[in-house]
A and B are shown apart, each in its own frame.
Chain A
């Protein structure tokens, strides 16, 4: 299964302060371990929200809001995508990350089988048809 690992922002990451050399070295070693274990699929750090933007959809209207955004704790500073056997395995990997003070969220990625009985063959077929139509229009 795939798990997305969302690293929350903090004041430093929002201020654009780069991690110090020690953390960079430790993070490099951690990433290397993930790659060597065949767990790492992808991962990136994100620029502060001051460099970003949001698009708000309201009643069909779209408005663009430029960063920065407040509430650093709800912002994302970086992510990984891991391939693991279970959420527990992802938790064990995450506990080895060299963070000192932050919160990191683990979110399993939906897989077709997750829908199980909810997604009956008819619904699946409908889903496929919709996808096909969307693809045809592109």
Chain B
């Protein structure tokens, strides 16, 4: 059945929302460059959205909706800049000041056709600025670059909507107070600032991929949001190998989303997954992104190394075809580059697969002694796995009980309790 495009009000309302999804980041980024104030830029963009909601149901969606929104917001930007100038004149009663202000303020009409990519990149660097807390960076990035509503962010992170709204308001205020310029970082700061952007994207992905709290083990929508941000970033800075490394890592991990949850929503661990259910399109995309990172010919960074490890699993058609020796070598490199107890724990698992559970247990025991992973449920969980393989079931039971008591995610706790039940009561070989 044919419906003329954008005739009914409900249709056009949905169309406006869809256009907003597509255009909001570019709109806010372009406006922020003109008005040099992220909060004001978002307000202006929202005003343009309201104007669209009022006018498009009558007029239809314009041919170039992005340009329409930008032109509307730009008019309001000029008004806002004039108002601001008038206010300053009143306060200071000095025409000289106004002139200075006008000279300083860039011409709102100028540079609208500048590379939108540069604006988006500036926006990403700004929403992930180190003056902001991690929570604030995540909320602001999802809101301004991901086009998510405050409500959607709140739902994804299981926090009240008011909390997210407040985080965003405070973040914008912090940026203004710290006088963070809406600019790309200097070459000297660039790599640290880029690392901050990648961290935010991966954090969003991980919150979707293995939810730390709540009843669901995965929240795929967050993974999709993170992947989209990563794919956008890869086109904005195609010469940065770690960006492609991160995209590769996320694509390959996301390829397992369907396979890592069982019929009742319970987690299925990597080696138990039905590899036929992996998303092979995403695997291919991940391997391609990894190749892109590596052809840039620079030393492998931590994301690229992790993507390499993920690729080892992706390339193995069956668990017993996994190249564990290579995975151990990659973890060795990762541990040197970005030492962390979590990497050590993963290395221990790889070592146990390559060289036997006793070798793995030795590494894990060193981690237990180190104490830095106290309270992390995967430490006793991994230790239990090695103990089971070594036939030390009584000790394994104790570790599983400990792990279950530490797990914050309901599904993960159930998995651990299931493994506990599967343990024989008194059949220790040792």
> Which residues of A are in contact with B by a Cβ distance under 8 Å?
35-39, 41-42, 81, 83-86, 88-89, 91-93, 95, 112, 121, 124-125, 127-128, 131-132, 134-135, 138
Q: Bound complex: CA of A84 vs CA of B274, how far in Å? A: 27
Contact of B18 among A36, A92, A127 (CB under 8 A): A92
Residue of A nearest to B285 (CB): A41
**The stretch of B257-265, B307-315, B321-329 that contacts the partner chain:** B257-265
Per the 8 Å Cβ criterion, residues 229-249 of B in contact with A are 229-232, 235-236
Residue contacts A-B, CB under 8 angstroms, 7 given: A36-B236, A38-B227, A81-B281, A83-B224, A92-B18, A121-B263, A121-B264
Chain A residues closer than 8 Å to B264, beta-carbon distance: 121, 125
Query: Provided the pairs A41-B285, A81-B281, A132-B274 are in contact, do residues A35 and B235 lie with their beta carbons within 8 angstroms?
Result: yes
B232 touches A95 (CB 8 A): no
Extra contacts besides A36-B235, A131-B274 (18): CB < 8 Å: A36-B232, A38-B231, A38-B232, A83-B227, A86-B14, A86-B18, A88-B18, A89-B22, A92-B19, A92-B21, A92-B65, A93-B22, A124-B263, A125-B264, A127-B263, A128-B274, A131-B276, A131-B277
Q: Bound complex: CA of A117 vs CA of B229, how far in Å? A: 32
Chain A residues closer than 8 Å to B61, beta-carbon distance: 92, 95
Q: Bound complex: CA of A132 vs CA of B230, how far in Å? A: 33
Q: Bound complex: CA of A41 vs CA of B140, how far in Å? A: 26
B15 touches A91 (CB 8 A): yes
B228 touches A135 (CB 8 A): no
A128 touches B262 (CB 8 A): yes
Contact of A88 among B15, B117, B229, B258 (CB under 8 A): B15
A92 touches B229 (CB 8 A): no
Q: Bound complex: CA of A92 vs CA of B21, how far in Å? A: 10
Q: Bound complex: CA of A16 vs CA of B61, how far in Å? A: 35
Q: Bound complex: CA of A61 vs CA of B227, how far in Å? A: 44
Chain A residues closer than 8 Å to B275, beta-carbon distance: 135
A128 touches B18 (CB 8 A): no
Query: Provided the pairs A36-B235, A92-B65 are in contact, do residues A125 and B18 lie with their beta carbons within 8 angstroms?
Result: no
Chain B residues closer than 8 Å to A92, beta-carbon distance: 15, 18-19, 21-22, 61, 65
Answer whether residue B17 sits at the interface, using C-beta atoms and an 8 A cutoff. yes
Answer whether residue B5 sits at the interface, using C-beta atoms and an 8 A cutoff. yes
B15 touches A36 (CB 8 A): no
Per the 8 Å Cβ criterion, residues 89-128 of B in contact with A are 117
Chain B residues closer than 8 Å to A41, beta-carbon distance: 281, 285
Chain A residues closer than 8 Å to B15, beta-carbon distance: 88, 91-92
Contact of B228 among A83, A93, A112 (CB under 8 A): A83
B281 touches A36 (CB 8 A): no
Which of A39, A42, A89, A131: most chain B Cβ within 10 A?
A89
Chain B residues closer than 8 Å to A84, beta-carbon distance: 21
Q: Bound complex: CA of A36 vs CA of B231, how far in Å? A: 7
Chain B residues closer than 8 Å to A35, beta-carbon distance: 231, 235
Hey, what's the 0/1 contact readout for B251-293 against A, CB within 8 Å counting as 1?
Answer: 0000000100011100000000011110001000100000000
**Shortest Cβ distance from A132 into chain B, in angstroms?**
6
**Shortest Cβ distance from B416 into chain A, in angstroms?**
21
Residue of A nearest to B65 (CB): A92
Q: Bound complex: CA of A93 vs CA of B18, how far in Å? A: 9
Chain A residues closer than 8 Å to B274, beta-carbon distance: 128, 131-132, 135
Chain B residues closer than 8 Å to A37, beta-carbon distance: 22, 228, 232
Chain A residues closer than 8 Å to B5, beta-carbon distance: 95
Chain B residues closer than 8 Å to A86, beta-carbon distance: 14, 17-18, 21
Chain B residues closer than 8 Å to A95, beta-carbon distance: 5, 61
Q: Bound complex: CA of A47 vs CA of B18, how far in Å? A: 33
Chain B residues closer than 8 Å to A81, beta-carbon distance: 281
Q: Bound complex: CA of A132 vs CA of B263, how far in Å? A: 13
**Shortest Cβ distance from B37 into chain A, in angstroms?**
25
Q: Bound complex: CA of A124 vs CA of B21, how far in Å? A: 33
**Shortest Cβ distance from A104 into chain B, in angstroms?**
13
**Shortest Cβ distance from B430 into chain A, in angstroms?**
34
Which of A86, A95, A127: most chain B Cβ within 10 A?
A95
Chain B residues closer than 8 Å to A125, beta-carbon distance: 263-264
Residue of B nearest to A92 (CB): B18
Closest 3 CB pairs of A and B: A38-B231, A88-B18, A38-B228
Which of B21, B263, B275, B281: most chain A Cβ within 10 A?
B263
Q: Bound complex: CA of A138 vs CA of B22, how far in Å? A: 43
Q: Bound complex: CA of A86 vs CA of B117, how far in Å? A: 24
Chain A residues closer than 8 Å to B230, beta-carbon distance: 38
Contact of B17 among A38, A88, A132 (CB under 8 A): A88
Per the 8 Å Cβ criterion, residues 111-159 of B in contact with A are 117, 147
